[in-house]
Structure 1
Amino acid sequence: MAQLTTTSPAPAPRVREPRFHRAWVIAVVAGAAIVTAGAFTTVPGLLVTPLHENYAWDRGQIALAASVNMILFGLTAPFAAALMDRVGIRRVVVGALMLVSAGALLTSFMSQPWQLVAYWGVLIGLGSGCLTMTFAASITADWFDKRRGLVTGALSSSSHLGQLIFLPLLAWSVDRFDWRPPVVTLAFVALAVAALVFLLLRDHPADVGAKPYGATEFVPKPARVPGAARRTIAVLVSALRTGPFWLLAGMFVICGASTNGIMWSNWAPAAHDHGMAVTAAASMLSLIGIFSALGAIFSGWLTDRFDPRRLLTVYFAIRALTLLALPLVFSSTVTVLMIAFVVVYGLVDVATVPPVIELSRRVYGEDGPIVFGWANSAHQLGAGAAAFLGATARDMFGTYDVVWTALSVACVVAALMALVVRAPRPA
């Protein structure tokens, strides 16, 4: 009798995960785009004096372009997040960099103040507004399941990194070659980064047959979401009916007021009130930027491990203490206490971003980047209000001490607000 033999089916081939995940390439390319956009935020301050001397334009006319740029920078972000869901991240980023480059090139040929507003204010404002922290939130949400907070912090610090890298070079170039060569150079840098984005950036891991970094299962690419502008407004209307949005937006209003809103426009005159030289004050502000970048990365690492609400409470409490102590550490020279303030304040400057992005994701799911975009618009609103009201208070009271105290109290309020945000824990 013949012996029957049974054969078991051959085991399925084992798919080896790549040692180096494509997500890290995407993060680096996204960081390059954000660094480039951040470089353009440093230019208006360098153009005021050359344009005033060359064209005899009023400083107010020149500042109007920067104001329009800042407003559009904040308002564009939530619409850009929805547009990325509609046509893809790569197309939006390439288009934004092309818009920024076109605005810079056209600025080099302008002859009237309204052209500065149109080119630098509108075109560059719209383009750079697409490359904000909302863009970072979209990248991390799609490409990372683990290390999301760390990557968010690194990308959030990229804008400051662009300022730190390009500001000394741009200032030296303007001083030596006038204002046009650095503006044109930045335009070509934006074009080069646009080409890099087109070649390497992809919308979703499924486009290259990969899983998000740290994910255990393959994630299909979501369908395109039509009606980007309509969806952006709809998400806002829906979020306005929820308590967490008001808390997140309220915290970011205070965050904007107590960081770039007051510091970028009032730090130098406040230091001058205490007899500090302009160069020393500028050096301290640059040092704040360095520690802001480090603080954002470290905050992202912490956000992966701790409750983001508790982190926000700690950050705002530390910021409140530093602002309250600032009048005591200001002096005519750079002291150890001043450096200590710069280090501590800088570390919590942008540190609030990764926790707020994570809370937006937890509460609002796939609408999280758009919700964060609207919260970021509130951040710009707080920044603009502090820039104006801070200077007004200085004129009324003859000192900035009342400003630092008021902002310190506001940060205490923000610290308490963070504790009551209702957010589900991640699965």
Structure 2
Amino acid sequence: MAHHDDVTSYQNPPPEKGRRLHYAWFVAAITFVTLLTVAGIRSTPGVLIVPLEHEFGWSRATISIAISVNLLLYGLMGPFAAAFYDKIGVRRTMAIALTLLTVGVSATTLMTRPWHMALIWGVLVGCGAGMLTNSLSATVTARWFRKGQGTVMGVLTASVATGQLLFLPYLASLTETKGWRSAALLIACAALAILPLVLLVMRNYPESIGLKPYGAPKDEPDQTLLRPTGNPFKVAISGLQRGLHSRDFWLLAASFFVCGASTNGLIGTHLIPACVDHGIPEVQAAGLLAMMGVLDLVGTTLSGWLSDRYDSRNLLFCYYGLRGLSLMGLPFALGGPHWSLTAFAIFYGLDWIATVPPTVRLTADSFGRENVGVMFGWIFASHQVGAALAATFAGTVRTYLGDYLVAFLLSGVICLLAAGLVLRINKAALPGIPAEATN
């Protein structure tokens, strides 16, 4: 029996008889493309910092505050977005978010004051992007896949890296030749172009088109009968209340706080300006970040595959430990020979967002697959709190101390601390987490 949600206003695909490719793969593909576009939008501030300094005379600390607002709202919107996926549907939520992004990014071309940037890029774009976070990846994976969940989550998470790869070098070149407003309009058009694809392809549940999730047994209960139906805000807040009483939640949130601080907040925002400080041209620095994106595409996909087969705690221990060592070596790579910065990009790039698939796996193990969207949304919110604080802290350090040395070294140290924390998550679980045994 098909579930009557908002997808019934469109022509539903026929039942799966005779079809070789499960519709879950089409849903995963449009999710990947949407997240890829959002990743391109979210990587833009790293390209804009220096041009905004030159045009308006704003300090790096001032610009970083607006970016921090964006990062914070990007995270805080996640659990509420996950609740809206249940209440009004994934497709409608995605459509609203893409509309906000199109309007917000376009409006940045009109800003002339720092508070304009904080309001437009910080609040409007932050809320729009926050409705399309890793909570979307977790929700789509949990609803549509029973086999290979870790691998699918890894590929969807890797969309961030692919977005950097596709957008950053061209945005940097366009900013240099045509100005930063042209770059902003380009990514606004990209968000607008994705909107009709989402409306045409996206579906909320496989059951709504007469299917079971990919790899699910025939007798699995209908998910649409189990979904939360209450007020989205109450659902999100009740998830937080549940988490606050869980030791595993605090450990997951603390480790992901460090993840955000050491990726989006520090490297994603400040690596290009740090390279410019050391005489490396902005386009070349953007190319370096894009190369890291290519490597992360490989690393995160591989991480998803590994999380289907090995203990996620051990994987996270390795990821945070290696990331901490690479960040502590970054100041020396920036001042050293060219090959040293390339070596950092390779070492760090493979590890960039590899933490997401095992973190989602541990969240599902601790709180149940049906709750993974909201619970991971709150854990991801801590990721973005870390990112926001790190973006502001690093910008302030650069403004008042003249370089990023303290910011890079401190970030490396807290990554090493996180490596110790993750080993204590879900201690009651058996070592080794086979893909099918824990689902």
Fold agreement, TM-score > 0.5:
yes
What CA deviation, in whole Å up to 9, does each residue of 1:125-160 have, x standing for no partner? 111111111111010010010111111111111123
Which sits farther off after the overlay, 193-202 or 112-121?
112-121
Contact 1:211/1:219, CA 8 A, preserved across alignment: no
Does residue 348 (structure 1) correspond to residue 351 (structure 2)? The answer is yes
Aligned partner (choices 388, 391, 401) of residue 387 of structure 1: 391
Partner amino acid, structure 2, of 1:264: G
Q: Helix, strand or coil for the counterpart of 1:79?
A: helix
The verdict on how the C-alpha distance between 1:267 and 1:119 changes in structure 2, with shifts beyond 3 A counting, is closer
Contact 1:173/1:182, CA 8 A, preserved across alignment: yes
Q: Note the 1:52-131 alignment, pairs <5 A.
A: 56=56, 58-59=58-59, 63-109=64-110, 114-131=115-132
Aligned partner (choices 393, 405, 417) of residue 413 of structure 1: 417
What's the CA shift for 1:315?
Answer: 1.2
Contact 2:261/2:390, CA 8 A, preserved across alignment: yes
Contact 2:43/2:268, CA 8 A, preserved across alignment: no
Residues in 1 aligned to 2:279 and 2:155: alpha-carbon distance in whole angstroms: 36
After TM superposition, the score normalised by the length of structure 2 is 0.84
Partner amino acid, structure 2, of 1:103: G
Does residue 323 (structure 1) correspond to residue 324 (structure 2)? The answer is no
What's the CA shift for 1:380?
Answer: 1.6
What CA deviation, in whole Å up to 9, does each residue of 1:260-314 have, x standing for no partner? 3222344356556766565554443332222122211111111111111111112
What CA deviation, in whole Å up to 9, does each residue of 1:101-145 have, x standing for no partner? 122333445566544433332221111111111111010010010
Q: Note the 1:45-56 alignment, pairs <5 A.
A: 45-48=46-49, 56=56
The verdict on how the C-alpha distance between 1:277 and 1:94 changes in structure 2, with shifts beyond 3 A counting, is closer
For residue 157 of structure 1, what is the aligned residue in structure 2? Answer: 158
The verdict on how the C-alpha distance between 1:410 and 1:175 changes in structure 2, with shifts beyond 3 A counting, is closer
Which sits farther off after the overlay, 139-148 or 62-71?
62-71
Residues in 1 aligned to 2:230 and 2:252: alpha-carbon distance in whole angstroms: 27
Aligned partner (choices 289, 307, 328) of residue 285 of structure 1: 289
Which sits farther off after the overlay, 229-238 or 154-163?
154-163
Residues in 1 aligned to 2:393 and 2:117: alpha-carbon distance in whole angstroms: 26
For residue 23 of structure 1, what is the aligned residue in structure 2? Answer: 24
Does residue 207 (structure 1) correspond to residue 208 (structure 2)? The answer is yes
Residues in 2 aligned to 1:37 and 1:403: alpha-carbon distance in whole angstroms: 27
For residue 192 of structure 1, what is the aligned residue in structure 2? Answer: 193
Q: Helix, strand or coil for the counterpart of 1:19?
A: coil
Aligned partner (choices 315, 320, 324) of residue 311 of structure 1: 315
Higher RCO (C-alpha under 8 Å, 6+ residues apart): 2
The verdict on how the C-alpha distance between 1:207 and 1:130 changes in structure 2, with shifts beyond 3 A counting, is same
What's the CA shift for 1:53?
Answer: 6.3
The verdict on how the C-alpha distance between 1:189 and 1:388 changes in structure 2, with shifts beyond 3 A counting, is closer
What CA deviation, in whole Å up to 9, does each residue of 1:26-76 have, x standing for no partner? 00001111111112113334445656666x463566554433222211111
For residue 299 of structure 2, what is the aligned residue in structure 1? Answer: 295
Contact 1:38/1:159, CA 8 A, preserved across alignment: yes
Residues in 2 aligned to 1:384 and 1:293: alpha-carbon distance in whole angstroms: 24
Residues in 2 aligned to 1:101 and 1:180: alpha-carbon distance in whole angstroms: 14
Residues in 1 aligned to 2:52 and 2:399: alpha-carbon distance in whole angstroms: 27
For residue 5 of structure 1, what is the aligned residue in structure 2? Answer: none
Aligned partner (choices 336, 339, 343) of residue 342 of structure 2: 339
After TM superposition, the score normalised by the length of structure 1 is 0.86
Q: Helix, strand or coil for the counterpart of 2:240?
A: helix
Contact 1:57/1:113, CA 8 A, preserved across alignment: no
Q: Helix, strand or coil for the counterpart of 2:158?
A: helix
Residues in 1 aligned to 2:118 and 2:403: alpha-carbon distance in whole angstroms: 33
Contact 1:276/1:333, CA 8 A, preserved across alignment: no
What CA deviation, in whole Å up to 9, does each residue of 1:330-356 have, x standing for no partner? 444311x44333212211111000000
Q: Helix, strand or coil for the counterpart of 2:338?
A: coil
Q: Which runs of 5+ in 1 are unaligned?
A: 1-14
Partner amino acid, structure 2, of 1:296: T
Residues in 2 aligned to 1:61 and 1:300: alpha-carbon distance in whole angstroms: 37
Does residue 138 (structure 1) correspond to residue 169 (structure 2)? The answer is no
The verdict on how the C-alpha distance between 1:284 and 1:409 changes in structure 2, with shifts beyond 3 A counting, is same
Q: Helix, strand or coil for the counterpart of 1:36?
A: helix
The share of aligned pairs that are identical, in percent, is: 38
Partner amino acid, structure 1, of 2:91: R
For residue 361 of structure 1, what is the aligned residue in structure 2? Answer: 364
Residues in 1 aligned to 2:395 and 2:48: alpha-carbon distance in whole angstroms: 22
The verdict on how the C-alpha distance between 1:258 and 1:121 changes in structure 2, with shifts beyond 3 A counting, is closer
The verdict on how the C-alpha distance between 1:189 and 1:122 changes in structure 2, with shifts beyond 3 A counting, is same
What's the CA shift for 1:326?
Answer: 3.8
Question: Size of the alignment, in residue pairs?
Answer: 411
Contact 1:275/1:332, CA 8 A, preserved across alignment: no
Residues in 2 aligned to 1:360 and 1:150: alpha-carbon distance in whole angstroms: 16
Partner amino acid, structure 2, of 1:122: V
Contact 1:87/1:224, CA 8 A, preserved across alignment: no
What CA deviation, in whole Å up to 9, does each residue of 1:202-236 have, x standing for no partner? 00010111111111125412345221111111111
What's the CA shift for 1:190?
Answer: 1.7
Partner amino acid, structure 1, of 2:81: A
Residues in 2 aligned to 1:260 and 1:298: alpha-carbon distance in whole angstroms: 21
Q: Helix, strand or coil for the counterpart of 1:197?
A: helix
Q: What root-mean-square deviation, in Å, do the aligned CA atoms of Structure 1 and Structure 2 show? A: 2.9
Contact 1:79/1:228, CA 8 A, preserved across alignment: yes
Contact 2:44/2:171, CA 8 A, preserved across alignment: yes
Aligned partner (choices 228, 232, 236) of residue 236 of structure 2: 232
Residues in 1 aligned to 2:62 and 2:401: alpha-carbon distance in whole angstroms: 28
Q: Note the 1:221-260 alignment, pairs <5 A.
A: 221-222=224-225, 223-260=227-264
